Structure 1
Amino acid sequence: MITTKSLTLNTPLTIGSVKLRNRLIMAPMQQYKGSPEGYATEHHVQHYARRANAVGLIIVESTAVSDNGRLVPNDIGIYSDQHTDALKRVTDAVHTKHTPIFVQLSHGGRKSDPEITKRLIAPSAISYDDTYGKPSELSVSEIEALIEDYRLAARRSIEAGFDGIEVHAAHGFLIHQFLSPISNLRSDAYGGSPLARAKFLQDTLAAIRAETGRNYPVIVRISSTDYVDGGLNPQELALMLKPLVADNLIDAIDVSSGGLLPIQPTDTHPGYQLPDAAVIKQHLDVPVIAVGKIYTRSFADRIIGDGLADAIAIGRPLLEDPDFAQKMIGRKDFS
């Protein structure tokens, strides 16, 4: 019998129908190398394949579901059928390393890049800051059109060869804007109570599931706190996510923080987001991914062995050193 204490970073983990060879995940990180039309490039093929040698899973950078929701001018997208071929080259390259790869589906909402956004949108007409400007409040029909964008993006994700989907509901982007009471002041079905504020995420996940089926992994990245009184906190988020987990809409939770407001955490010590991940894990019966300067094998093993999280995601060290995962894992070859 496997006990929690016997689990380590090297222990395989199953997310949905996909088995990870270990619990080290490459976190999604913007590359700023997409074409003006949002296509993945040769940079992405080489970048992700080079870092796929030892990690259990790669999650690709933010990938826009709408040409009006890109985060930066050189973001990559999946908002047309023409984007799939370029992304298929990325997934094929990673699969040669026997590593699964998920796409991160996103829409910037009020934080979409003003240079390329025709019309800023949000659940409520509240600005992020003066740089972005004031967004327009979404109508219900516009919300339904956005949910359709996610559904079509899910279809293209499968066609592009991705093994799963991460829905970006963190860092102040559109879904996070719906979840937080600070940015969502609606009084209709998509606002008000915590469960109503989660309806956009719920409807989006249901639309994605309509394309993928139950066995295809779908995970969600959340910001556990808005770093301000009256904002989201991990306990409230767990309450909002629990019905979605019960309905088999979510296979894992990726716990980050912040981004809704131009506020930075005052302390970013190693594992600074871990307590929130542990709270989420206490309430939800799906794997929880912890992230936030967890860069040593001993620290990662302690987190997993103590049952605080089920997997560890790392970002910047892999940008600086493509072989960082092999060194952290302690093995040279997993293929």
Structure 2
Amino acid sequence: MTLTVNDSLSIGNLNLKNRLIMAPLQQYMGTPDAFAVDHHIEHYGRRARHVGLVILESTAVSANGRLWKNDIGIFTDQHVKPLMKITATIHAHQTPVFIQLSHGGRKSSPDVTNSLVAPSAIAFDDYYGIPEPLSLAGIERIIEEYRLAAKRSIEAGFDGIEIHAAHGFLIHQFLSPLSNTRSDAYGGSSENRARFLKEVLMAIREEVGSDYPVIVRISATDYCEGGLTPEEWARMLKPLESELDAIHVSSGGLLPIQPSDVYTAYQLPHAAAIKQHFKIPVIAVGKIYTRSLANRILEDQLADGIAIGRPLLEDPDYAERLLIS
């Protein structure tokens, strides 16, 4: 049977009507206190009609972990109600929606962050400055913030959670040896560097149970020698596969380095390399903008789902045309 982007896809116990996923892209429209607004309701509702899944933009689990001064958060109970309006609007189109939970670590916005933290005292750049290395108590506190965010995510009506372990934010900082030089149980070996992700994942699982979809977004490469590679990611994620429902493969962001060439489907080789090691679905993202290309990727079993972002920002009906053209 020929596989196409129109075919259904199961992520855990959730069945998607097609394999097209709205990737998480920031709207920069949150209030100073990180509340979602009417813009988010209209934006996501308008684009939810035809995709199989919506993944909400990065949503902060901590007041000190916001990525931008105008992002949105879920770090208080008061944040739940505005998010409920977004999920209700998306559900009106019979489309499920995941929330992407994040903490910026050393890349948290200086405009709204009182305490810049990271696994090690290594700055991303001069703009952000040198972070304070997290103590064990600090690590435990952030893990608890993820657990509470997961609890609120269910209350807000989300159908699943994406753990943001990509683009140089806190979990990614723990995972990469370029940003993690710790000598305790959270640094050194691949197993130790993956410990923070594992404990965040298990805290979320404790709150949501085994049947609730939880996926992870990763940066497959740091674009720098000595950084993470798909093979290293496979070693770190394989022990966690039974607790995950999909892997969403992006790249970069740990360092102020850009890929040398951003071409059509430029991140696909990383997704394909990751997929070789896992039975759970792998989602490819990055300039996959035509139906023919998406179908070829699926048919060749290089990935199981296709995420698109920027075309949907520019044209809310883009997914409809991709599915029928």
TM-score (norm 1): 0.96
5 Å matches for 1:1-335?
6-245=2-241, 248-330=242-324
Amino acid of the structure 2 residue aligned with 1:122: A
Residues paired across the two proteins, number: 325
C-alpha distance in 2 between matches for 1:49 and 1:238? 35
Superposition deviation, residue 222 in structure 1? 0.1
Amino acid of the structure 2 residue aligned with 1:94: I
Instruction: Encode CA deviations 1:17-56: one digit per residue, 9 max, x unaligned.
Output: 1110000000000000001111110000000000011100
Superposition deviation, residue 249 in structure 1? 1.6
C-alpha distance in 1 between matches for 2:262 and 2:211? 36
Instruction: Encode CA deviations 1:244-268: one digit per residue, 9 max, x unaligned.
Output: 00xx221000000000000000111
C-alpha distance in 2 between matches for 1:231 and 1:183? 9
Using the aligned pairs only, state the percent identity. 65
Superposition deviation, residue 115 in structure 1? 1.1
Which SS does the other structure have where 2:101 is aligned?
strand
C-alpha distance in 2 between matches for 1:285 and 1:123? 31
Structure 1 portions without partners, runs of 5+:
none
Structure 2 portions without partners, runs of 5+:
none
Instruction: Encode CA deviations 1:140-194: one digit per residue, 9 max, x unaligned.
Output: 1100010000000000000000000000000000000000000000111111001
C-alpha distance in 2 between matches for 1:17 and 1:270? 32
Which SS does the other structure have where 1:32 is aligned?
coil
C-alpha distance in 1 between matches for 2:7 and 2:108? 38
C-alpha distance in 2 between matches for 1:293 and 1:192? 34
C-alpha distance in 2 between matches for 1:101 and 1:72? 22
RMSD over aligned Cα, in angstroms? 0.7
TM-score (norm 2): 0.99
Which SS does the other structure have where 1:82 is aligned?
helix
Which SS does the other structure have where 2:243 is aligned?
coil
Which SS does the other structure have where 1:88 is aligned?
helix
Superposition deviation, residue 119 in structure 1? 1.1
Instruction: Encode CA deviations 1:94-143: one digit per residue, 9 max, x unaligned.
Output: 00000000000000000000111101000000000000000000001100
Which consecutive segments of 4 or more residues in structure 1 shift more than 3 A? none
